[in-house]
């Protein structure tokens, strides 16, 4: 007997498992399809009543859907043993039943998770878009499964966005069918642009065949294939590569146009750098939708297609229009026929134009429009355009030297590993060969942690085995030098332009805590200068001939920020009286006769304090027994009760508001706090606020330094590096100190600020 109408139970491997019928009214506002019932669902006889169901209910409420006003069902009605995903056969046996059920439901389907999407044959990657399922002949919106979100709590933001877009309803879906108008000549371009009112918002974007915008000695830069402009959803203007490169008047026409309108782009720094370097046109970007989304919620994906799906419900037009011409995402866009590329590119600018309006409204609602968006983020984006265009000089001889040294180290460590392993053929890049040696030949014990797979040689496994055999530190050493060579030498050399400069890509949205990151080359992840290799690699970077580098660095920026936020008297006193904080702490912890070693320990802990490290991580890094570390932390906290109180208030804010906020209006969101991320939240609600504030002081300084005509080449953590003519170095160094110290005083006046600016030829000099 079938358990439900049309179910093919007699053929189904799950026929003897307990089953859970659907719940709710077929006319309900929200029709939910999940994967299959879990233990609690079986116990209560209803779908989505366990942990996932509770989260689902909370998110439904958040987006304005009454959890009672839902119809809930699953791809399979019976519980797959051990909570596994149902097999294709099981799904197929239950599918006629699901089709029959959904026939009677009124509203579109919300498909939760991959199994539901696969059963309905819709594209699981297009979460947020309205799609059509031929299987059930209904409109469907795919979304994350709440069970996944319980494991990855930061994804709650995405689940909320997906359900919000479902709640807006199918009727809110935007359909863009813009006309694509090609500018046929410079004169025609002028005519088209005259249609645009002064001061209008204009979305712009370029398509390029790839992302390299500058020439290297043996390789030409990539090229602009077209420029698209839109100030109205009904049409987009396309300027071809021919018009861009072959008609010098085009640049003038575009520049004049950009000067009289307000421009918006998605990740517009990329387009601006290309346009400025290739045809000397500066689009003066007023608004960047990607950066706006990042400020609104650092947990959200930032891709234009995903945002278009979530905001407008539209399916991925990249897949529809151009993906078939490309082998991979990095493939050459000139393979795409211009007509399709233009159609795609115009949709991009229309979506950007429409997103801008929504994002501005939300930023204003949050009180984030003026600060940080308009007074930090957008000016930072402009300043970094200059920094990227300028580049950073590499000393070719130093690069060769470091390269040679690291290659010798690789050979040396390879030889050492082979000797220890007793295998002259050992390939140290092969995890299989290393695993064989570690676990079979040397019979080291398999670490007992569920996080470490059997036979693994990953970093966690090596850490667990570090005291077991001399081969372990040797492998670690080999991997370290190999990685340094690859990331900081081998991958960097081909990035140099004809003058030997590299032009890193600065990501304002690169970290969740709001710090900048840099790619190609990764200049910010180079080890500290006091590291054996960190100094050497930094030493490859220099000022060009006749110029000097100025390295201006905030002293203890994060601890000063912490003092201001927490108002901890111990910290405030130390800074106000210009006493050495590390010695002050050592005195408080160990008495007046503290030793140098005591001060070192206190220094280490002071810096890690703002990261909220546990006694275990402290014990590990300071080489102390856990009990000693625990006592240390206890006493340290007793010395700084106000700092401890502030930390716990931060956590309460995170719980209550779902986010914490800096004085510059940057937020770190914690949409869902569970056992999985509790420790993480406790740490980041403190650390983000401190790190982001110190970083924004640096960023604001960078903007001013650049605006005053001192050319910046890099910013790492709380330092700014500029490159100036030798004769101006002294003056520029003093000015940079002034700007940075004043910035600290202006926003965080409770402590004095100290900046040291050094004049150097190389980034690091021993
Ligand atoms: N997960 C599902 O997919 N369905 C339920 O009913 C409960 C949890």
- Per-residue pLDDT tens for 368-388? 999 999 999 999 999 999 999
How far CA 610 is from CA of 193, 626, 715, in Å, comes to: 53, 20, 21
Ligand 1 contact, 86 CB (< 6 A): no
Ligand 1 contact, 35 CB (< 6 A): yes
C-alpha span between 355 and 347 (Å, rounded): 12
Cβ atoms of 707 and 692 closer than 8 Å? no
C-alpha span between 140 and 138 (Å, rounded): 6
| % of the chain surpassing 70 pLDDT | 100
Stretch 165-186: mean pLDDT: 96
Ligand 1 contact, 38 CB (< 6 A): yes
The CA-based dihedral angle spanning residues 484, 490, 492, 495, taken in that order and rounded to the nearest 10 degrees:
-170
The closest alpha carbon to 694, from 604, 759, 610, belongs to 610
Q: Please give the span between the terminal C-alpha atoms of the chain, in angstroms, as a whole number.
A: 83
Q: Is the pLDDT of residue 613 over 80?
A: no
Q: Is the pLDDT of residue 184 over 90?
A: yes
How far CA 108 is from CA of 30, 48, 66, 523, in Å, comes to: 7, 18, 16, 48
Band of residue 76 on the pLDDT scale cut at 50, 70, 90: very high
CA of 449 to the centre of ligand 1 (A): 29
Cβ atoms of 277 and 224 closer than 8 Å? no
Chain-centroid distance of CA 702 in Å reads 22
Cβ atoms of 33 and 120 closer than 8 Å? yes
Model pLDDT, residue 532: 86
For Cα atoms 709, 710, 716, give the angle at the middle one, nearest 5 degrees.
135
**Residue to substitute in 19, 22, 32, 50 for testing ligand 1 pocket (most ligand atoms within 8 angstroms of CB):** 50
| Residue with CA nearest ligand 1 atom 7 | 48
User: Mapping DSSP to helix (H, G, I), strand (E, B) and coil, where does residue 575 land?
Assistant: helix
Cβ count within 10 A of residue 500: 16
The residues near 61 (Cβ < 8 Å, ≥ 6 apart) are: 67
Cβ atoms of 34 and 41 closer than 8 Å? no
Ligand 1 contact, 107 CB (< 6 A): no
Ligand 1 contact, 47 CB (< 6 A): yes
Model pLDDT, residue 618: 86
Ligand 1 contact, 345 CB (< 6 A): no
Cis check for the bond before 372: say yes or no (omega within 30 of 0).
yes
- Per-residue pLDDT tens for 255-279? 999 999 999 999 999 999 999 999 9
Q: Mean pLDDT for the chain?
A: 96
Cis check for the bond before 253: say yes or no (omega within 30 of 0).
no
Q: Is the pLDDT of residue 615 over 90?
A: no
CA of 20 to the centre of ligand 1 (A): 10
Relative to the CA of 116, which ligand 1 atom is closest?
3
CA of 67 to the centre of ligand 1 (A): 15
Ligand 1 contact, 24 CB (< 6 A): no
C-alpha span between 290 and 548 (Å, rounded): 35
CA of 70 to the centre of ligand 1 (A): 14
Cβ atoms of 573 and 640 closer than 8 Å? no
Strands across the sheet with 541-542, in order? 501-502, 392-394, 541-542
Ligand 1 contact, 34 CB (< 6 A): yes
Model pLDDT, residue 514: 93
Q: What DSSP string describes 588-654?
A: HHH-TT--HHHHHHHHHHHHHHTTT--HHHHHHHHT--HHHHHHHHHHHHHH-HHHHHHHHHHHHHH
Cβ count within 10 A of residue 203: 26
User: Mapping DSSP to helix (H, G, I), strand (E, B) and coil, where does residue 508 land?
Assistant: coil
| % of the chain surpassing 90 pLDDT | 94
Relative to the CA of 35, which ligand 1 atom is closest?
3
Stretch 279-296: mean pLDDT: 98
Q: Tokens standing for 322?
A: 């151009």
Lookup result for tokens 């840099």: 518
Q: Which residues pair with 177 in a beta bridge?
A: none
Model pLDDT, residue 301: 87
Model pLDDT, residue 530: 87
The residues near 675 (Cβ < 8 Å, ≥ 6 apart) are: none
Stretch 655-674: mean pLDDT: 97
CA of 117 to the centre of ligand 1 (A): 14
Ligand 1 contact, 37 CB (< 6 A): yes
Ligand 1 contact, 80 CB (< 6 A): no
pTM for the structure as a whole:
0.94
Band of residue 329 on the pLDDT scale cut at 50, 70, 90: confident
Cβ count within 10 A of residue 29: 19
Stretch 681-686: mean pLDDT: 95
Ligand 1 contact, 48 CB (< 6 A): yes
Ligand 1 contact, 74 CB (< 6 A): yes
Stretch 464-481: mean pLDDT: 94
What is the gyration radius of the CA atoms in the chain, in angstroms? 29
Q: For residue 150, which phi and psi values (nearest 5 degrees)? A: -65, -30
Task: Give 77-101 as a 3 state SS string.
Answer: CECCHHHCCCCHHHHHHHHHHHHHH
C-alpha span between 63 and 57 (Å, rounded): 10
Cβ atoms of 37 and 115 closer than 8 Å? no
Band of residue 131 on the pLDDT scale cut at 50, 70, 90: very high
Q: Tokens standing for 651?
A: 């956590």
- Per-residue pLDDT tens for 220-256? 999 999 999 999 999 999 999 999 999 999 999 999 9
C-alpha span between 250 and 90 (Å, rounded): 62
Polymer length of the chain: 766
Model pLDDT, residue 608: 86
Region for 443 from its dihedrals, namely left if φ exceeds 0, alpha if ψ lies in -120 to 50, beta otherwise: left
CA of 349 to the centre of ligand 1 (A): 39
How far CA 140 is from CA of 53, 150, 315, 321, in Å, comes to: 20, 23, 11, 21
- Residue with the bigger pLDDT between 341 and 610: it is 341
Name the strand (E) or helix (H) holding 67.
none
CA of 19 to the centre of ligand 1 (A): 12
Ligand 1 contact, 584 CB (< 6 A): no
Pairing of strands 109-112, 138-143: parallel
């Amino acid at each position: 007997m079938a358990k439900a109408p049309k179910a093919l139970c007699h053929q189904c491997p799950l026929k003897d498992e307990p089953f859970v019928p659907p719940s709710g009214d077929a006319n309900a506002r929200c029709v939910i399809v999940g994967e299959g019932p879990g233990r609690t669902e079986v116990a209560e006889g209803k779908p989505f009543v366990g942990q996932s169901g509770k989260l689902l209910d909370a998110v439904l409420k958040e987006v304005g859907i009454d959890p009672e006003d839902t119809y809930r069902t699953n791809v399979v009605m019976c519980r797959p043993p051990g909570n596994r995903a149902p097999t294709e056969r099981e799904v197929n046996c239950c599918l006629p039943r699901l089709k029959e059920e959904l026939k009677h439901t009124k509203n579109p389907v919300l498909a939760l998770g991959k199994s539901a999407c696969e059963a309905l044959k819709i594209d699981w990657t297009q979460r947020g878009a309205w799609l059509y399922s031929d299987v059930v002949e209904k409109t469907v919106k795919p979304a994350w499964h709440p069970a996944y979100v319980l494991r990855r709590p930061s994804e709650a933001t995405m689940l909320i966005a997906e359900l919000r877009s479902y709640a807006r309803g199918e009727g809110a879906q935007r359909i863009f069918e813009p006309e694509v108008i090609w500018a046929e000549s410079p004169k025609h371009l002028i005519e088209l642009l005259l249609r645009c009112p002064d001061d209008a918002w204009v979305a712009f974007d370029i398509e390029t065949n790839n992302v390299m915008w500058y020439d290297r000695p043996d390789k030409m830069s990539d090229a602009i294939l077209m420029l698209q402009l839109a100030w109205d959803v009904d049409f987009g203007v396309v300027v071809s590569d021919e018009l861009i490169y072959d008609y010098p008047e085009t640049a003038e026409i575009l520049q004049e146009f950009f000067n009289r309108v307000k421009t918006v782009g998605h990740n517009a720094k990329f387009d601006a750098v290309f346009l400025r370097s290739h045809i000397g046109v500066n689009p003066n970007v007023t608004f960047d939708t990607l950066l706006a989304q990042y400020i609104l919620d650092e947990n959200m994906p930032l891709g234009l297609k995903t945002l278009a799906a979530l905001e407008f419900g539209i399916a991925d037009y990249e897949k529809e229009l151009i993906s078939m011409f490309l082998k991979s995402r990095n493939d050459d866009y000139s393979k795409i026929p211009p007509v399709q590329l233009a159609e795609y590119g115009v949709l991009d600018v229309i979506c950007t134009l429409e997103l801008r309006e929504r994002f501005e409204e939300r930023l204003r609602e949050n009180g984030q429009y003026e600060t940080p968006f308009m007074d930090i983020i957008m000016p930072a984006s402009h300043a970094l355009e200059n920094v990227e265009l300028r580049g950073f000089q590499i000393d070719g001889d130093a690069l060769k030297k470091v390269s040679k040294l690291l290659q010798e180290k690789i050979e040396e460590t390879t030889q050492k590993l082979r000797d220890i392993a007793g295998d002259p053929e050992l390939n140290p890049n092969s995890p299989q060969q290393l695993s064989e040696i570690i676990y079979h030949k040397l019979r080291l014990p398999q670490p007992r942690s569920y996080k470490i797979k059997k036979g693994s040689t990953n970093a966690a496994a090596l850490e667990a085995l570090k005291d077991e055999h001399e081969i372990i530190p040797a492998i670690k050493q080999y991997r370290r030098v190999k990685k340094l060579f690859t990331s900081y030498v081998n991958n960097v050399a081909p990035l140099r332009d004809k003058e030997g400069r590299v032009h890193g890509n600065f990501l304002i949205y690169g970290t969740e805590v709001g710090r900048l990151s840099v790619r190609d080359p990764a200049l910010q992840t180079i080890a500290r200068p006091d590291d054996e290799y960190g100094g050497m690699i930094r030493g490859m970077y220099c000022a060009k001939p006749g110029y000097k580098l100025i390295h201006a660095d905030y002293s203890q920026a994060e601890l000063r920020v912490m003092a201001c936020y927490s108002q901890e008297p111990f910290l405030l006193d130390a800074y106000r009286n210009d006493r050495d904080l590390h010695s002050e702490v050592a005195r408080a912890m160990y008495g007046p006769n503290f030793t140098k070693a005591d001060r070192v320990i206190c220094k280490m802990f002071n810096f890690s304090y703002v990261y909220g490290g546990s006694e275990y991580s402290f014990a590990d890094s300071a080489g102390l027994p856990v009990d000693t570390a625990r006592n240390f932390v206890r006493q340290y906290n007793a010395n700084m009760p106000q700092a401890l109180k502030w930390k716990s208030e931060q956590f309460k804010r995170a719980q209550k508001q779902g986010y914490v906020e800096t004085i510059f209006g940057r937020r770190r969101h914690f949409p869902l706090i569970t056992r999985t991320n509790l420790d993480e939240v406790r740490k980041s609600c403190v650390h983000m606020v401190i790190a982001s504030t110190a970083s924004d002081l640096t960023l604001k300084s960078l903007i001013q330094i650049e605006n005053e005509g001192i050319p910046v080449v890099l910013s790492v953590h709380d330092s700014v590096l500029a490159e100036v003519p030798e004769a101006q170095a002294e003056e520029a160094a003093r000015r940079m100190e002034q700007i940075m110290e004043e910035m600290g005083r202006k926003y965080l006046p409770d402590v004095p600020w100290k900046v040291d600016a050094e004049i150097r030829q190389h980034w690091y000099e021993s």
